Structure 1
């Protein structure tokens, strides 16, 4: 992270003078305790002892769009030359308020085809730009964001404006290596267990030597896993070769959870599977209706159509029924799924008339139980790229889906989520780097309790065969992390802000939370689940690590006082008994601030210098001050498991008082202190000849 000290001929020495007020955030490394003690401490909690624990003014977790597009699914293209002429006249006359008003009216009248035209995207750019100029940051950000999702032209200008507006809004995820380093460190925290494996193979009972993917959970207590596999060999008769020349056939398989909470041996869904390709199953909550796709059939409407089948009392399935022309098209229609209330069917299609290569569509069931004509889900979910795998959560009003286009994107297709409020979809959010990687994430399912994510990944990069794996659902992907926890890390006296990494660990459920970098203004924010206990860890190169346990009860904002390694530290606990060099237990907590810094920053060393008050003999005081420094050195070396040369001990006795000729006990206490000097290992030390002289530092 670079040198945190200034050099002007000689090194500017870090003077850490141990005075007498303890910082509230000092973190003592604890010895392992038994499970009962651990549980007691978790249940008690510490409360957040940092400053200004206050509600935030605005909850930005669920943001519904301000722009509305009522013509989507009504008209393909909106044009109004008279209105365009008025807009041009207002622009020439610089009548910006009226100009913005008419631009808004025109843009919100767009049909889907307007989003495909560069001249209409230019109008959207102008709306964003004038909104920014007039100070309407919310509308400007939303319009820029929409422009970035749909514009096929040069988006550099829009991206620059958007990034300026969202400089302190967008998530700055830390390097994933930092996350795994912190995960390993969790084992040192006695309230936590070692982390689970990130991806867990679902085993040979489910996976095969061929591709296994496109899964869903269903039935009572979601005890059934249905998925797509191409492990089956196809009937090679001449008739079937004509329509399906490939040797292997995509079929639907089912696995049932055993009494041991394991998935049983997968079996083909015999009464559904045919010599045509079947896949993308979705099972209703009661387990009695199955939606799936069948491809390349003579009686089908397009490449792949969506079908359904009802389950009989004997466990067999009725003959599959095509959902018909209101749902299916001449193109590829796939990935069916039902809403939480099962009255809306979502699916993906690459039919013409959409925003991109493939879009998400929906159909609503009427009072007679019939599915209505499919409609495009709109420009806030769909983009100029491809959207796949719509997956509404079974208990929470939230839609997950995969997209190849996003303001935050980690690779190819990433998984996003959008909250559903009164039939409207909120701004999609990327579920974060603990789920999304450099490859493609789609064909996924999330259990009812939102604890596990199931999806297909290739074991080896470049290997086309997919295996199904389970993954403990991280916080960013949860459907109910709707509480905003934000803060600012700042030096309380100077106002200095710090660079570093903020990590939060859910102590209640041991759910992972992706770490984030501290922004340039010292701020950070997370979206968490309410009524839970968390551990906050903040670390950086120029301040001492902060660890706090806190409880979330509604939106909160915290002001976090951090102590810079370039400033003086004050500890009330560093006070030896008269005539003694023995460390007291209450000292250890604050000494760990120094230990943690040395452990993390291996290129720094430390000088510990002891001082006494003027009571007693001068020579005896020098000896006592050295013994005290040696006690501190021994503790730091042993507990930090450092090499002996990382710490140097020295003692000055009463020769360098802060208060000369002290008259009160408090003034004597000020003189009775320990000083720390931290220096870069690249600098040489010249040890003083006279004990009364300062240590000399040479470049």
Structure 2
């Protein structure tokens, strides 16, 4: 790793649009129907065969808390244990108190998360865990509290923020970041990422809303999506219950030999006068899961149906998955696990954690589906969770949530790794995907390179189009290597404020930029065995660019040079008696130009120095001529105003080494120093005349 700089030149930028969506259509609930209280669920947890252990490191952490009673009992209460907890708290027997409290809390059913007095017990567990020094459990419990507590959680948030002060992702302000990117673009050789935010074209999109898509087939060459483009005259029944969006149908587009999406056609074998949407096609393309709404044979607002191809390749009559899967309420967004033996879907049925939750059902040996189970309190929240999307190759579940510890707007996309049948703490996939609006109805291709989802052209516009763009790093299902670092001034230990971004040079994907933390630290989660470009830039230090190859977790100390320091470069070494620039000087001079172009509030003082050989008056003239040669190069190359760079010369009056004894010591005295300073401080600079002229003094 170079100590300060490498050559600037290779920089990419990722164009981001904030997606603003509306909660829409047959895939959203319409109205409630009455239903008796759910019965206890007696079947066990996730099917272990689906989730094999995966070779991942400390980036992925399984929750320490387990809730075995979720899906077993609706509510847990033990008066004897509560009395014991109260006694231990009065007596301040904190170690035993924490142990008993942990046992009680982890016995909760779903309804416990809806009651304030029970959530207060989670608050106490978090608090005593913090007190007893178990930071990991404290952070996890505070996160759980923030997801489910329905009252004032400001105290919990304060405690949590203090615990994760140097861990929480500090995403950079995108306006500031793109300001830096734009200035970088003025001087760097740009190679923009391919297919950035690509509208999928007139063959797919229409003047009506297009959304709710899936990729199907072994080669992922079939796009199925929902659209209300048909314009058909729907029945009075549908208009009564769904007046705004009463003509939803499924459409299919096939990828052509030119890697383009062909004309979308109505899926006539499935579409009816009722609303169809949220399609999910199996890998072999022979089975379709979808939803149909407000039908006479339905059980709720929207039900999940399944259709299969026969031996001749024709689609059979769709079959309602029945009351074992569907409920009296809204059931939608079906998808299958990567082994296609677990069905995920969203539902607002009674008995969940919030407005709508994610549920799953495991396929039995006879081909039938088990009773659906709630996916649990680490994924679901007091808000709404939608659009479960298991990746087809990696053990990762993507989903949308209206509530998260890190949230950028309305619904955001999150991901959770699946390890040994358990879900890890969800991670927001970052601001390059999630914006101030809503993000859901999405699909990710099998190679984890492209993200597909719907967006409105302007905020509040209900007309949605399908878009695709390269999947950013934080949304990747295999970015499980931690790269961390700290930016410090190597001699003083000073830390800097700035923006850190990393660019995947092999796939030309830029990682969401982050701010440097107060202690100078930063961290990213990357895909292993790839080459990356690290770019660190701010207003009070020279830009840093380094290329590195990731092989496992890595931590680096990044030396940064303050712009308030005087700098000299070994390459700036003139021939004896000459003020002519040599080609080998230009690399470092380009770095100085880069900084000045990007930071318009700074000016530069170039000061030339010579050794003591020869006549002092001639040395003074030579040092000034050398400084002016550099000044002229910088002004011309950067196309800057004349007063941005000031030239001065000290001759042999300010040596680093007095009475040098050899050529190397003389060379140290023959130097050119660069002093960059904020424009408002120019009065403190020895040379104050913007139109500096040479003198013989």
TM-score by length of 2: 0.89
Cα 1:382/1:30, change in 2 over 3 Å = closer
SS of residue matched to 2:567: coil
- The answer as to whether partners of 1:26 and 1:589 remain within 8 angstroms in 2 is no
- Structure 1 segment 381-396 matched on structure 2, within 5 A: 381-396=379-394
SS of residue matched to 2:437: coil
Aligned mates of 2:603, 2:244 — CA distance in 1: 67
Aligned mates of 1:409, 1:224 — CA distance in 2: 32
- The answer as to whether partners of 1:26 and 1:592 remain within 8 angstroms in 2 is no
Aligned mates of 1:328, 1:59 — CA distance in 2: 38
- The answer as to whether partners of 2:567 and 2:673 remain within 8 angstroms in 1 is no
Cα 1:236/1:294, change in 2 over 3 Å = closer
Is residue 374 from structure 1 mapped to residue 372 from structure 2 by the alignment? yes
Aligned mates of 2:57, 2:166 — CA distance in 1: 15
- Structure 1 segment 563-578 matched on structure 2, within 5 A: 563-578=561-576
Deviation at 1:109, TM superposition (A): 0.2
Q: Which deviations, in whole Å up to 9, do the C-alpha atoms of 1:519-565 show, x marking residues without a partner?
A: 00100000111111000011112211110010001111111111122
Residue among 105, 123, 127 paired with 1:125: 123
Deviation at 1:222, TM superposition (A): 0.9
Partner in structure 1 of residue 134 of structure 2: 136
- The answer as to whether partners of 2:10 and 2:189 remain within 8 angstroms in 1 is no
- The answer as to whether partners of 1:71 and 1:109 remain within 8 angstroms in 2 is yes
Partner in structure 1 of residue 604 of structure 2: 606
TM-score by length of 1: 0.89
Q: Which deviations, in whole Å up to 9, do the C-alpha atoms of 1:648-689 show, x marking residues without a partner?
A: 222232233344444433332232222333343344454599
Residue among 568, 578, 581 paired with 1:580: 578
- The answer as to whether partners of 1:234 and 1:247 remain within 8 angstroms in 2 is no
- The answer as to whether partners of 2:406 and 2:428 remain within 8 angstroms in 1 is yes
Aligned mates of 1:72, 1:534 — CA distance in 2: 43
Aligned mates of 1:119, 1:521 — CA distance in 2: 38
Partner in structure 2 of residue 625 of structure 1: 623
Structure 1: tracts of 5 or more residues without a match? 1-21, 33-57, 694-699
Cα 1:460/1:659, change in 2 over 3 Å = closer
The worse-fitting range, judged by mean Cα deviation, of 95-104 and 581-590 is 581-590
Deviation at 1:207, TM superposition (A): 1.2
Aligned mates of 1:434, 1:617 — CA distance in 2: 61
Partner in structure 1 of residue 539 of structure 2: 541
Deviation at 1:615, TM superposition (A): 1.5
- The answer as to whether partners of 2:331 and 2:347 remain within 8 angstroms in 1 is yes
Aligned mates of 2:566, 2:243 — CA distance in 1: 77
Residue among 263, 267, 275 paired with 2:261: 263
Residue among 331, 336, 342 paired with 2:329: 331
Partner in structure 1 of residue 197 of structure 2: 199
Cα 1:30/1:540, change in 2 over 3 Å = closer
Aligned mates of 1:127, 1:242 — CA distance in 2: 50
Partner in structure 2 of residue 295 of structure 1: 293
Aligned mates of 1:543, 1:59 — CA distance in 2: 34
Partner in structure 1 of residue 489 of structure 2: 491
Aligned mates of 1:337, 1:152 — CA distance in 2: 30
Aligned mates of 1:134, 1:67 — CA distance in 2: 17
Aligned mates of 2:183, 2:82 — CA distance in 1: 61
Aligned mates of 1:633, 1:382 — CA distance in 2: 61
Deviation at 1:187, TM superposition (A): 5.2
Cα 1:237/1:451, change in 2 over 3 Å = closer
Aligned mates of 1:237, 1:331 — CA distance in 2: 22
Cα 1:689/1:232, change in 2 over 3 Å = closer
Deviation at 1:574, TM superposition (A): 2.3
Q: Which has the higher contact order (CA 8 A, sep 6+)?
A: 1
- The answer as to whether partners of 1:61 and 1:483 remain within 8 angstroms in 2 is yes
Is residue 28 from structure 1 mapped to residue 39 from structure 2 by the alignment? no
Cα 1:579/1:502, change in 2 over 3 Å = same
Partner in structure 2 of residue 159 of structure 1: 157
Aligned mates of 2:128, 2:245 — CA distance in 1: 59
Q: Which deviations, in whole Å up to 9, do the C-alpha atoms of 1:136-155 show, x marking residues without a partner?
A: 00000000000000000001
Number of residue-to-residue matches in the alignment: 647
Aligned mates of 1:208, 1:689 — CA distance in 2: 66
- The answer as to whether partners of 2:180 and 2:598 remain within 8 angstroms in 1 is no
Deviation at 1:359, TM superposition (A): 0.1
Is residue 352 from structure 1 mapped to residue 319 from structure 2 by the alignment? no
Cα 1:142/1:31, change in 2 over 3 Å = closer
Deviation at 1:690, TM superposition (A): 11
Residue among 281, 284, 296 paired with 2:282: 284
Aligned mates of 2:380, 2:295 — CA distance in 1: 28
SS of residue matched to 2:230: strand
Residue among 93, 104, 107 paired with 1:106: 104
Deviation at 1:243, TM superposition (A): 6.7
The worse-fitting range, judged by mean Cα deviation, of 368-377 and 234-243 is 234-243
- The answer as to whether partners of 2:234 and 2:246 remain within 8 angstroms in 1 is no
- The answer as to whether partners of 2:488 and 2:494 remain within 8 angstroms in 1 is yes
Cα 1:692/1:488, change in 2 over 3 Å = farther
Partner in structure 1 of residue 59 of structure 2: 61
Deviation at 1:60, TM superposition (A): 3.9
Aligned mates of 1:689, 1:209 — CA distance in 2: 66
Q: Which deviations, in whole Å up to 9, do the C-alpha atoms of 1:51-102 show, x marking residues without a partner?
A: xxxxxxx954211100000000000000001000000000011000000000
Deviation at 1:278, TM superposition (A): 0.8
Q: Which deviations, in whole Å up to 9, do the C-alpha atoms of 1:476-522 show, x marking residues without a partner?
A: 10111111100011112111111111011110110121110000010
Aligned mates of 2:666, 2:257 — CA distance in 1: 71
SS of residue matched to 1:163: helix
Cα 1:183/1:220, change in 2 over 3 Å = farther
Aligned mates of 1:290, 1:597 — CA distance in 2: 56
Cα 1:690/1:315, change in 2 over 3 Å = closer
Deviation at 1:589, TM superposition (A): 2.8
